[in-house]
């Protein structure tokens, strides 16, 4: 499939989720997955600022990416934090060459198998509401200017999806939307951990299982996750395909 055809399908798929009651966790997961498909990268993550301005991990394409995002937030070190503060993209970060700039982050990222990192802001005019992080394994996982433009376009789609026109005019609406996303993330993490602990499957597979069940039954991921946590959904039923 030609790149422009693939890109068109991605934006149609993402736009299809922008409805009145769209599923935020599913939308953000789709965004990270599509970023990996379209760009010369191996993992992606999305972080959003809570009402107090603190970044929180919202979606990742892999467990490795999630560990890196959590590491940055816990140790307050890495390109995503600088990109969030400056509102500017930080791309083509050679992790070996930047060991002095972010020593602990670069060491941990390289130990995880990554060699290159990129961070792009989710921006609404002058306000930065989050960050998209991208990671490459191959030494030449650099983004061209066209790649950077595409990555920023994906980040802008995320911003549009999270802050619709009515949210732009009302601060309280925006805060409620972001708070809902954060609360959904918490219960999804609990359900992932519970499912992984019971079955022994990896966390990413636990999330994929919950997501597949939610889609198959036309339900929100967060609602299914809450049922798993509450014990109202049998694990065997959840894993049936």
Rounded distance, CA 1 to CA 11, Å?
Answer: 15
Is-above-0.85 flag for pTM?
A: no
Q: What is the DSSP string of 187-234?
A: HHHHHHHHHHHHH---HHHHHHHHHHHHHHTT--HHHHHHHHHHT-S-
Write down the residue that tokens 């989720």 correspond to. Answer: 17
Under DSSP, the state recorded for 20 is T
Pair 123, 167: CB distance under 8 Å: no
Give the pLDDT score at 181: 81
Give the pLDDT score at 5: 60
What are the pLDDT digits (tens) for 3-24? 556 666 666 666 655 555 667 7
Pair 44, 135: CB distance under 8 Å: yes
CB atoms under 10 Å from CB of 113, counted, come to 12
Rounded to a whole number of angstroms, the distance between the first and last alpha carbons of the chain is: 29
Which residues does 218 contact at the CB level (< 8 Å), separation at least 6?
none
Dihedral (Cα; 155, 137, 115, 10), 10-degree rounding:
-10
Give the pLDDT score at 11: 64
Q: Backbone phi, then psi, for 146, in 5-degree steps?
A: -65, -40
Indicate the pLDDT class of residue 236, thresholds 50, 70 and 90: confident
Judged by average pLDDT, the poorest of 7-11, 63-67, 101-105 is: 7-11
Pair 53, 81: CB distance under 8 Å: no
Mean pLDDT of the chain: 86
Helices (H), 39-164: 63-75, 79-86, 103-111, 145-162
pLDDT reading at 155 higher than 60 = yes
| β-pair partners for 43 | 135
What are the pLDDT digits (tens) for 196-234? 998 899 999 999 999 999 999 999 999 999 999 998 888
Which residues does 161 contact at the CB level (< 8 Å), separation at least 6?
14, 17, 18, 22, 24, 27
Give the pLDDT score at 14: 61
Give the pLDDT score at 165: 39
pLDDT reading at 26 higher than 90 = no
Give the pLDDT score at 22: 65
pLDDT reading at 166 higher than 70 = no
Indicate the pLDDT class of residue 167, thresholds 50, 70 and 90: low
pLDDT reading at 36 higher than 80 = yes
pLDDT reading at 191 higher than 50 = yes
Query: Domains, the chain, ranges and CATH?
Result: 3-163 (3.30.450.40), 183-239 (1.10.10)
């Amino acid at each position: 499939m030609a790149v422009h055809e693939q890109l068109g399908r991605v934006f149609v798929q993402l736009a299809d989720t922008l409805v009145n009651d769209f599923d935020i966790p599913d939308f953000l997961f789709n965004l990270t997955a599509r970023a990996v498909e379209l760009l010369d990268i191996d993992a992606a993550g999305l972080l959003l600022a809570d009402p107090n301005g603190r970044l929180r991990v919202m979606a990742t394409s892999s467990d490795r990416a999630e560990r890196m995002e959590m590491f940055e937030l816990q140790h307050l070190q890495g390109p995503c934090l600088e990109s969030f503060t400056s509102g500017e993209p930080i791309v083509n970060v050679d992790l070996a060459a930047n060991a002095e700039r972010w020593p602990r982050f670069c060491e941990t990222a390289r130990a995880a198998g990554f060699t290159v990192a990129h961070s792009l802001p989710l921006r609404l005019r002058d306000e930065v509401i989050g960050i998209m992080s991208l990671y490459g394994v191959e030494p030449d996982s650099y983004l061209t200017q066209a790649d950077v433009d595409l990555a920023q376009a994906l980040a802008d789609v995320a911003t549009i999806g999270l802050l619709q026109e009515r949210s732009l005019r009302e601060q309280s609406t925006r805060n409620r939307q972001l708070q809902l996303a954060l609360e959904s993330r918490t219960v999804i993490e609990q359900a992932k951990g519970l499912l992984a602990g019971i079955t022994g499957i990896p966390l990413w597979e636990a999330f994929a299982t919950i997501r597949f069940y939610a889609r198959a039954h036309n339900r929100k991921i967060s609602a299914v996750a809450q049922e798993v946590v509450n014990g109202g959904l049998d694990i065997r039923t959840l894993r049936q395909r």
